[in-house]
């Protein structure tokens, strides 16, 4: 099967490896990228690859079995719109849109095209740990879920301040970068839609008066700064990392959201980007009247607490690989979608719902108001 790639970045090349590990006959046959070095890397990684200047050139110039989009975030919508009308199976990185305008355009283009062969990169929803939590919730064991408490304390938060993610115009803020995953798996487990959101963000740590554009390697404090990425573990110089305490360091460093769902129940969610090491945590508690089920991706543990007895059940989930094993599941799903043997397990409807919730949360944080999660 021949795959075309739009934007040969690190993330999408990692997913491609999962695809090829499962099916060696899946070949990257064509690449579109504005960066000549990325085109060269695609050829080095995959051998006989044709490179094109535009998606239109690629779609018109080759017979392909599927397309994978791995551009920077602000281009996800316009690139997806170019592919949807082709009818080809599409693997689309998250977030599917970085502005409300793009989200509306993508929704319209998706509905007009009729192309439902889309896998959105939401690997958390397909992990074994989330699937077991959903199975427990769906069984009725804990009763109807009436409250959810979710957290994401990111131990590698420097990623969002020292590389291209620090550009908020490109990344769209950290609800779109991180919470989009968490909102999606929560929506998936609950099987219902969010109705309104109130959110707040703060920037207390990653700010400062260092010069704009300062790189760690050029900072006179790079030997003692706890955030310094001036040198690799082998002592080699890192010419790419930016200062986390410069005037132009973007992105909030913590954020929280309260989300009301159709039934009237609500979810509380909080994310943090300056927690480190063992303070890292990612998971949720789903509370019903009969019991509570909680889990954490980092520990790989699920616990079920029954409210009217002394019973506590514990499950240990061992998953290797990127995104706790979810990337491999999505890769398999995309292969089967290209074969025409299955439906998407992470649809563009799911991607649009999560993006809309994130964008409304961002709008709420900016305006200090509740926002309706609706396509107004």
Taking alpha carbons only, the member of 77, 98, 81, 73 closest to residue 11 is: 73
Q: Which residues contact 118 (CB under 8 A, 6 or more apart)?
A: 80, 84, 89, 90, 91, 92, 110, 344, 347, 348, 351
- Going 321 to 326 to 332 to 337, the CA torsion angle's sign is negative
311-330 pLDDT, tens per residue? 999 999 987 767 888 999 99
Query: DSSP string covering 58-89, please?
Result: HHHH---SEEEE-S-GGGHHHHHHHHHTTT--
Q: Which residues contact 58 (CB under 8 A, 6 or more apart)?
A: 4, 6, 30, 32, 50, 52, 64
Q: What is the dihedral of CA 146, 152, 153, 155, to 10 degrees?
A: 160
Distance CA 60, CA 53 (A): 12
Distance CA 153, CA 281 (A): 5
Q: Which residues contact 277 (CB under 8 A, 6 or more apart)?
A: 155
Instruction: Measure CA of the first residue to CA of the last residue in the chain; give whole Å.
Output: 40
Read off φ and ψ for residue 202, nearest 5 degrees.
-145, 155
pLDDT at position 321 is 65
SS3 for 246? Answer: strand
188-239 pLDDT, tens per residue? 999 999 999 999 999 999 999 999 999 999 999 999 999 999 999 899 999 9
Domain range annotation of the chain: 2-122+329-346, 124-202+251-321+353-372, 207-249
Residue 74: Cβ-neighbour burial (10 angstroms; 0-12, 13-18, 19+): middle
In Å, what is the CA distance from 230 to each residue of 155, 214, 216, 251, 273?
19, 11, 5, 21, 20
**Angle value at C-alpha 202, between 198 and 206, nearest 5 degrees:** 150
- Going 201 to 202 to 207 to 212, the CA torsion angle's sign is positive
pLDDT at position 50 is 94
Indicate the CATH number of 2-122+329-346 among 2.40.290.10, 3.40.50.720, 3.40.50.300, 1.10.287.1080: 3.40.50.720
SS3 for 306? Answer: strand
pLDDT at position 47 is 87
Distance CA 225, CA 216 (A): 9
pTM for the model stands at 0.96
CB contact at 8 A, 182 and 271: yes
Parallel/antiparallel/unpaired status of strands 50-52 and 281-287: unpaired
Q: What is the dihedral of CA 104, 108, 109, 115, to 10 degrees?
A: 120
pLDDT at position 373 is 98
Is domain 124-202+251-321+353-372 given the CATH code 3.30.360.10 in the classification? yes
* Residue ranges, the chain, pLDDT below 70: 321
Distance CA 175, CA 160 (A): 12
Q: Cα-atom radius of gyration of the chain, to the nearest Å?
A: 21
């Amino acid at each position: 099967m021949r795959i075309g790639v739009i934007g040969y970045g690190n993330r999408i090349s990692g997913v491609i490896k999962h695809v090829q590990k499962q099916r060696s006959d899946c070949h990257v046959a064509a690449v579109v990228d504005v960066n000549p070095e990325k085109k060269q890397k695609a050829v080095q990684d995959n051998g006989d690859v044709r490179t094109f200047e535009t998606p239109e050139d690629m779609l018109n110039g080759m017979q392909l079995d599927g397309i994978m989009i791995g551009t920077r975030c602000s281009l996800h919508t316009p690139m997806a719109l170019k592919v949807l009308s082709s009818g080809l199976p599409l693997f689309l990185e998250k977030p599917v849109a970085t502005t409300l305008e793009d989200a509306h355009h993508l929704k319209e283009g998706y509905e007009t095209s009729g192309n439902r062969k889309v896998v959105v990169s939401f690997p958390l929803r397909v992990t074994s740990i989330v699937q077991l939590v959903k199975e427990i919730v769906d069984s009725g064991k804990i009763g109807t879920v009436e409250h959810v408490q979710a957290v994401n304390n990111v131990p590698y938060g420097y990623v969002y301040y020292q590389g291209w993610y620090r550009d908020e115009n490109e990344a769209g803020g950290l609800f779109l970068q991180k919470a989009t995953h968490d909102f999606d798996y929560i929506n998936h487990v609950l099987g219902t839609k969010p109705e309104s959101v109130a959110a707040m963000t703060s920037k207390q740590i990653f700010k400062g008066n260092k010069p704009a554009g300062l790189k760690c390697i050029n900072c006179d404090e790079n030997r003692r700064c706890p955030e310094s990425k001036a040198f690799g573990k082998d002592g080699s110089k890192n010419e790419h990392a930016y200062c986390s305490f410069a005037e132009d360091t973007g992105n909030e460093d913590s954020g929280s959201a309260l989300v009301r769902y159709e039934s009237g129940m609500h979810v509380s969610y909080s994310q943090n980007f300056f927690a480190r090491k063992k303070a890292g945590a990612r998971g949720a508690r789903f509370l019903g009247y009969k019991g509570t089920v909680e889990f954490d991706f980092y520990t790989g543990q699920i616990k079920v607490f029954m409210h009217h007895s002394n019973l506590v059940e514990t499950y240990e989930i061992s998953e290797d690989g990127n995104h706790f094993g979810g990337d491999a599941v999505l890769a398999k799903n995309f292969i089967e979608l290209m074969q025409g043997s299955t439906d998407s397990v992470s649809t563009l409807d799911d991607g649009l719902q999560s993006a809309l919730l994130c964008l409304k949360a961002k709008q709420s944080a900016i305006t200090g108001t509740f926002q309706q999660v609706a396509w107004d």
